[in-house]
Amino acid sequence: MHALSLRAGPDALEVLRERGLRAADVDLMPAASGGPKWLALAGLDRFLFRDFFAAPRARPLHLVGSSIGSWRMACLAQRDPLAALDRGHHAYIHDQRYSPKPGTAEVSAVLARVLDTLLGKTGVEEILAHPWARLHIITSQGRGLARTGARTMLGSALTAAAALNAVSRRSLALQFRRVIFSNAGNASPLLGLRDLPTAFVTLTAANLRDALRASGSIPMVIDGVSIASAPGGLHWDGGVTDYHLDIDFGPGDGIVLYPHFYSHVVPGWFDKSLAWRRAGVTNFRRALLLAPSDAFVATLPNGRIPDRRDFFAMSESVRIATWETIRVASTALGDELGELLVSGRIAERVKSWV
């Protein structure tokens, strides 16, 4: 059984066939929204930042995340990424304990503590001072009815956004605007984004924690966040605009290395139920997507990767045990990638995106 599914765009495929996968050839890593799904990538993340990216780099590595993806990338941009991942995984699995019917304030407070654990005492400073990792955090700024946290207005905004999005993704701009918080400055590869209205904000010690909180703030579940020095109104989950990051990753010639929990990419949060709204190769010509294979997923508890349904379908003790089992099992993904790199056979395993 192969644990990994590998899929590459034509430009990445050419590089892989010529010289395999090298850390020096990678210049960007995206990380998707998905809540508990990140636990299925734990072993892959550990391999990448323990082994693959262990050597000093001559050029930046841009880490781009929305929602839980931004939290993953915030782990990997700290001085000791493995320790940050361990803290984040443990807190996410064990410290999310809720009353039977928690409101948004309770969920927000619990997740704020999880984030504090993930960052530790010096994580913010370490991220901003990292010698080569450049963090990009995506939020969705509320506009129109989504500008405030009033539940009735927010519900109406979500209903309108979902209906209009089915016609055109660009209609999202009526209720939500993409905002990218970054410490890459003018070197950010995302400055050319034109698919949706996009604002850029410099990542600082004053806004980094709040940007991460906002990026994971699911509307109607978690409170929106007002962020210093950012466009006004509340900021919501980055997955609203960029669920799996079907975006232009810029004009670079390096590989976009995309560890993902699915072998397909869904552009926005409202596209999940739209079977025709799946990413083509356009934005992924230089991407290598690494995902758990169907065969691997079938071996996991309940035959699937974890998701938010587990909070309702499982008792607390069963959920915790299930998530820990999946986190440990994901080690197979990193092990298999390591074997492919050592053997030099990665190009043989990769399937073309088109």
HEC sequence for the chain: CCCEEEEECHHHHHHHHHHCCCHHHEEEEEECCCHHHHHHHHHHHHHHHHHHCCCCCCCCEEEEEECHHHHHHHHHCCCCHHHHHHHHHHHHHHCCCCCCCCCHHHHHHHHHHHHHHHHCCCHHHHHHHCCCEEEEEEEEEECHHHCCCCHHHHHHHHHHHHHHHCCCHHHHHHCEEEEEEECCHHHCCCCCCCCCCEEEEECCCCCHHHHHHHHCCCCCCCCCECCCCCCCCCEECHHHCCCCCCCCCCCCCCEEEEECCCCCCCCCHHHCCCCCCCCCCHHHCCEEEEEECHHHHHCCHHHCCCCCCHHHHCCHHHHHHHHHHHHHHCHHHHHHHHHHHHHCCHHHHCEECC
As a whole number, mean pLDDT of residues 47-67 equals 96
Confidence grade of residue 262 (pLDDT, cut at 50, 70, 90): very high
As a whole number, mean pLDDT of residues 172-181 equals 97
- Overall number of domains in the chain: 1
Mean pLDDT of the chain: 97
As a whole number, mean pLDDT of residues 171-190 equals 97
Is a pLDDT exceeding 90 seen at residue 257? yes
As a whole number, mean pLDDT of residues 184-208 equals 97
Report pLDDT for 5.
98
As a whole number, mean pLDDT of residues 139-145 equals 96
Q: Nearest to residue 145, comparing CAs of 221, 220, 252?
A: 220
Is a pLDDT exceeding 90 seen at residue 252? no
As a whole number, mean pLDDT of residues 18-31 equals 97
Q: In which domain, by residue range, is 189 found?
A: 4-352
> Whole-model pTM?
0.98
Confidence grade of residue 329 (pLDDT, cut at 50, 70, 90): very high
Residue 252 CA to residue 309 CA, distance in Å, equals 38
| Encoded tokens for 208 | 């980094």
